[in-house]
A and B are shown apart, each in its own frame.
Chain A
Amino acid sequence: MSAPTVTTAHAPVVGDGTSVRSRSARRWRRARWWLALLGLVVVAGLLSALPEPRTSTLTLAPDNPGDLGARAAAQILGRQGVDVRYVRHIAEVRSLAAPGSTVLVVGDYLLDADQIDVLDATGADLVMVDAGWALGLLTDTIAAGGGTGGEPEVRSAACDDPDAVAAGSITARGSLQATGPGAVVCFPAAGTDTDLGGAYAVTESDGRRIVALADVAPLTNEHLAEQGNAALVLRALGRHEQLVWYIPSLDDVGAGDGSTDAAPGQLLPPVVPILALQLVLVVVVAALWRGRRLGRLVTEKLPVVVRSGETTRGRGRLYRRARSYGHAAAALRAGAAARSAARLGLPRSAPAPVVVDAVARATSRPAHTVEALLYGPPPTDDRGLAQLARDLDHLESEVHRT
């Protein structure tokens, strides 16, 4: 059956009723709130990025303003004309440190022997804070003692090192011991002698000075202003105009000379970030290409999807939840009886004894078993119901018109 073709639109349609002006006005109306929101986000981002210099929470970092930080010391040194360079990698120490500069090393937990060799090879003056093990590798004349626990206590110089004398007394813990000639140990624990160790030690070896502090406390913002801490620290760190502030970091392994694995960021050639930027451009253009649809999606109403069997299933669930074995069994029995009766030519209204009789004759089963099956007591559990259903199936399959 091919119907005649009819034209549903007689005059050709030209254009969509918009002009350049109306389109741009509509676009502006649609986009202006989003643009305003975007502008707000950009301004907020700039405002939050601008004022504050970067700070950290790393212990003894020169940009940490907290109690355990050392920004106070670093800023004072900076104001006095010392060029403080804060570094985290041994490779930077290697390139910045030279004879005539100072290297401050904070902690030696993350240092290995190779890195200590690098420190040794720079020829710069070293200030080792809380770095007993590293000291052992750098010099034979100072060794770390114990006792860094407890609160910092006030100790007086008790030696003739000019820096220590200038400081007078400091607050510190822990001890360092002189194990060879040329080492000067100061600030012993209160009531003891420097022979038993002190918080501060100085030695000269190979023409450079190694200063050791057993405790970080004198450097911290919290304790810098106490006693002569500031004097000792500033004199120790301010000997030269160059100060390399080195705090070893976890991702720095090896001697930093390229002989071992460098950090992933340093492995990439420098062109990679720019290449990534170009790739972003490609992705943006590709998104525009795929994102513009050729006309809108066409929708249509869908028909009802409720299946006719749903109500029957729902009824079955209700039976089951109510554990109404009686109802279920009665339905199964009535169905089987009705079908058997119909097959035997009995009317729908045939009374129960007639049906039992006819079915018993047709299946040659005793009448009382047929009656028990079709009109017996209801089952009381799942198993009984399933058994009844199977028995009824058997009975029904045996019913044939005689």
Chain B
Amino acid sequence: MAVTWRAVVLAALGLPVVLLVPATGTVLLWALLVVVACAVDVALAASPREVGVRRDVPASVRLTEPSSSTLTLSHLGRRRLRGVVRDAWPPSSGAQVDRHRLDVAPGEGARVRTVLVPTRRGDAHADRVTIRTLGPLRLAGRQASLTVPGRLRVLPEFASRRHLPSRLARLRELDGRAAVQVRGPGTEFDSLREYVIGDDVRSIDWRATARRSDVVVRTWRPERDRRVLIVLDTGRTSAVRVLDAPRLDASIEAALLLAALATKAGDRVELLVFDRKVRGRVASATGARVMAQFADTLALAEPALVETDWPGVVAQVRQRLSQRALVVLLTALDPAAVEQGLLGVAGQLTERHQVVLASVSDPEVDTLRTSRDSAAAVFDAAAAERVGLERAAVAVRLRQRGAEVVDALPDDLAPRLADTYLALKAAGRL
């Protein structure tokens, strides 16, 4: 049951009548008239429960990109169906207009499209489809909410992909395939070519030169087919907000950029999402499927309010990696948490693998550190200074154990991590 604005107008039309015949009976009669008219309209309205509803949703969409949910309605009743249908989605799905007018003859169908511009990563589950049918007078009608399943997976935005072209150019330089022939630093033998002026004389291959009439140099290229394991920490420190997004979101961006870059560089990338247990993993994916699987797995990564189990991480890494690999820990350089957890087990990781710890730092701390507005601000500045010193000290202790530490603002983390990867690759430390 629902009434429309027309019923209100009908009730209001009683005002002049009451002015003409001012009696309580007039009001009662008019109220009766409104009730009867509405009841008749409801009785003549098509049943919202005699409509077949199907909802079509794309499997996934990238954050901030528009998508749409399509409702296909087939009218099974005998009366003409006039009314409204609402395709309900959670607020973060960004449904622009989710109400649509309907006017369907018996036996026919209609298709309505709701544009969704999601504003949050993760699975968005559609709510009910509500159909309100109106009677011929459109005074009142019937309403029913149907449970029609629908799910839209919102993938991470991957805004850091704008950094990818420049890093790929650097990678090509390393590979020795760039237009500018800088001798590719690396440790893996690539090929022999003729000496040109400017080449390092130390790279001349005398044995090959002796076989041919020309002077021949060896070229090197960075190693390929190395393994990269990205460990995303979804423990309590990842839930903290930095600027306007959880720390986890910046880590996800960094993971995606690194995965794209390493895949292009010919390395095998794996992902482990972990806090106290494995929340998601990508392993043994190759080629184009790597990015799709990364996006799919990272879409569902949510911060959990638990302390990360670092010995568990080490056990997982041991289980997954038999040979030397690059292990990237996307976590927070939170002095207390690191001292309690990671520091104790960092040695076990670094003795077998190259470890990079990437952490999102908070620009607010820098703002606090430089504020001098009041006595309270100076105390805050002192606290910020102390936090900065402690972070630096923890970073130093991690470096002493052989780990690389990348501590950057949310927007800088992805490119900084990519640069670190390239530097390690160039130095042949993978």
Contacts and interface: CB of A to CB of B under 8 A. Distances in A.
Interface core residue of A1, A4, A277, A308 (most chain B CB under 10 Å): A308
A275 B149 contact: no
Contact of B130 (A3, A4, A295, A315): A295
A10 B372 CA distance: 63
Interface stretch (A130-138, A299-307, A360-368): A299-307
Interface stretch (B164-172, B240-248, B275-283): B240-248
Interface string A276-315: 0111011011101100101110111001111111011101
A7 B126 CA distance: 13
A316 interface: yes
A274 B76 contact: no
A9 interface: yes
Given A331-B389, A335-B369, A389-B372, A8 B53 contact: no
Given A285-B8, A309-B365, A16 B241 contact: no
A289 B5 contact: yes
B355 to A, nearest CB: 21
B19 A271 contact: yes
B47 to A, nearest CB: 8
Interface residues of A, number: 69
Interface string B8-26: 1011101100110011101
Contact of B368 (A9, A294, A306, A316): A316
Given A281-B31, A386-B375, A393-B372, A298 B57 contact: no
A393 to B, nearest CB: 7
A296 B145 contact: yes
Interface core residue of B3, B55, B62, B369 (most chain A CB under 10 Å): B3
Contacts, number: 251
A312 B383 contact: yes
A14 interface: yes
A270 B14 CA distance: 17
A26 interface: no
A247 to B, nearest CB: 32
A298 B362 contact: no
Interface string A1-36: 111111111111111101000000000000000000
A98 interface: no
Interface string B206-218: 0000000000000
Contact of B15 (A282, A298, A332): A282
B88 interface: yes
Interface stretch (B89-97, B260-268, B309-317): B89-97
A390 to B, nearest CB: 7
A295 B50 contact: no
A298 B88 contact: yes
Contact of B74 (A12, A299, A300, A307): A12
Nearest to A333: B385
B85 to A, nearest CB: 9
Contact of B24 (A274, A282, A296, A348): A274
Given A335-B385, A389-B372, A317 B145 contact: no
B-side interface mostly: mixed
Contacts of A12: 52-54, 72, 74
A294 B132 contact: yes
Contacts of A278: 11, 14-15, 18, 26-27, 30
A386 B372 contact: yes
B408 interface: no
A385 interface: yes
Contacts of A3: 58-61
Interface residues of B, number: 94
Nearest to B302: A303
A239 interface: no
A357 to B, nearest CB: 22
A320 interface: yes
Contacts of B178: none
Given A275-B19, A298-B127, A312-B380, A9 B2 contact: no
Contact of B90 (A271, A286, A299): A299
B204 interface: no
A116 interface: no
A344 interface: no
A313 B362 CA distance: 13
Nearest to A7: B56
A58 to B, nearest CB: 31
Interface core residue of A278, A288, A300 (most chain B CB under 10 Å): A278
Given A304-B303, A332-B385, A316 B376 contact: yes
Contact of B144 (A15, A300, A385, A386): A15
B378 interface: yes
Contacts of A308: 240-242, 247, 362, 364-365
B84 interface: yes
Contact of B49 (A14, A282, A288, A299): A14
A346 to B, nearest CB: 14
A270 B19 CA distance: 11
Interface string B249-270: 0000000000000000000000
A14 B73 CA distance: 10
A281 B30 contact: yes
For the complex of A and B, 9 pairs with smallest distance between CB atoms = A295-B130, A12-B52, A316-B380, A328-B382, A309-B364, A335-B385, A316-B383, A382-B375, A15-B49
Given A13-B148, A281-B34, A294-B99, 6 more contacts: A9-B150, A14-B53, A15-B50, A282-B8, A294-B2, A332-B378
